[in-house]
Amino acid sequence: MSRSPAITTDHSRICTYPTGLDPHRMPSHVAVIMDGNGRWAKARGLPRIMGHRAGVEALKTTLRLCSEWGIRTLTVYAFSTENWSRPGDEVNFLMTLFERVLQRELDSLQSEQVRISFLGDLEPLPNRLKELIAEARELTASNTGIRFNVCTNYGGRRELVLAAQKLARRSARGELDPELIDENIFADELFTGSEVDPDLLIRTSGERRISNFLLWQLAYAEIHVTDVLWPDFDAAALIQALADYQTRCRRFGGIDPITSDRLGS
């Protein structure tokens, strides 16, 4: 399948768009690095875990609005391969939070026709969480609404290494000629599989890094960085990110036909 980031949106849905956004220039796939939960809590004299709890509300709002506005895929960075190095209490809290949220929200995900997947190396996760993930994925697999990817124990470099290992094994078994490995064959082995690449990456809390997130898939994504801390990320912040995206001229390494005329090239 083609890997070019799509710029079309599912207009078959009846969507109410906020003023100022062009419904024909919405990103198809939005990825989010949800950062700043700890700082949000600290600023309020609260334990860090309260920031994560508040972050879930911001995530629910973002998912609902993306779905309402016809965005086809939302991919969020919930737990990285590096996050295991956080204090044990915080890691345990996050795992329990994922379980609780999945349990609590499954009915509404289903009624909103959300198709949920967890991307990453899921093996080291607690058994109860793995069961809930499998249940949620199965239950929502044939839903027709927004695709919601939750990157959990996800690391971009790890994903690339695992893909290389899978291809090497197939070649060693004589099933795949190494000369035939191209970008599409490689991408099929990533956690994202046949998913189209993100058009827009949003990073909250002002950090200007991609932090091992979707290293392959973000090749041509437009990047929007906001100082807003994740728990404060609301409709206004999402509209600002989408409006910023709509100002971008996406050339995918080519040239802009309008300005190239003006420059005589």
Could you list the active site residues?
35, 83
**CB of residue 127 vs ligand FPP: minimum separation in angstroms?**
17
Look-up of token digits 């695992």? 162
* CB-based contact 47:41 (threshold 8 Å): yes
* CB-based contact 200:224 (threshold 8 Å): yes
Paired tokens of 229: 């801390």
Q: Contacts with ligand FPP in 191-210 (CB under 6 A)?
A: 205
- In angstroms, how far is the first alpha carbon of the chain from the final one? 32
Q: Which residues pair with 152 in a beta bridge?
A: 79
CA distance 154 to 80: 5
The one among 61, 83, 113, 171 contacting ligand FPP by CB under 6 A: 83
- Does position 132 interact with ligand FPP (CB under 6 A)? The reply is no
CB atoms within 10 A of CB 53: 17
Q: Contacts with ligand FPP in 21-80 (CB under 6 A)?
A: 34-39, 52, 55-56, 59, 78
CB of 18 or CB of 47, closer to ligand FPP: 47
**CB of residue 190 vs ligand FPP: minimum separation in angstroms?**
20
CB of 66 or CB of 150, closer to ligand FPP: 150
| Segment contacting ligand FPP by CB under 6 A, of 97-105, 131-139, 217-225, 246-254 | 97-105
CB of 69 or CB of 118, closer to ligand FPP: 118
Look-up of token digits 């204090």? 87
The one among 150, 163, 202, 228 contacting ligand FPP by CB under 6 A: 150
| Identity of the residue numbered 62 | T
Helices (H), the chain: 37-43, 48-68, 88-111, 127-140, 156-172, 183-188, 235-247, 257-262
CA distance 8 to 26: 7
Residues contacting ligand FPP: total by CB under 6 A: 17
The one among 69, 98, 154, 245 contacting ligand FPP by CB under 6 A: 98
- Does position 101 interact with ligand FPP (CB under 6 A)? The reply is yes
Interaction site with ligand FPP (CB under 6 A): 34-39, 52, 55-56, 59, 78, 83, 97-98, 101, 150, 205
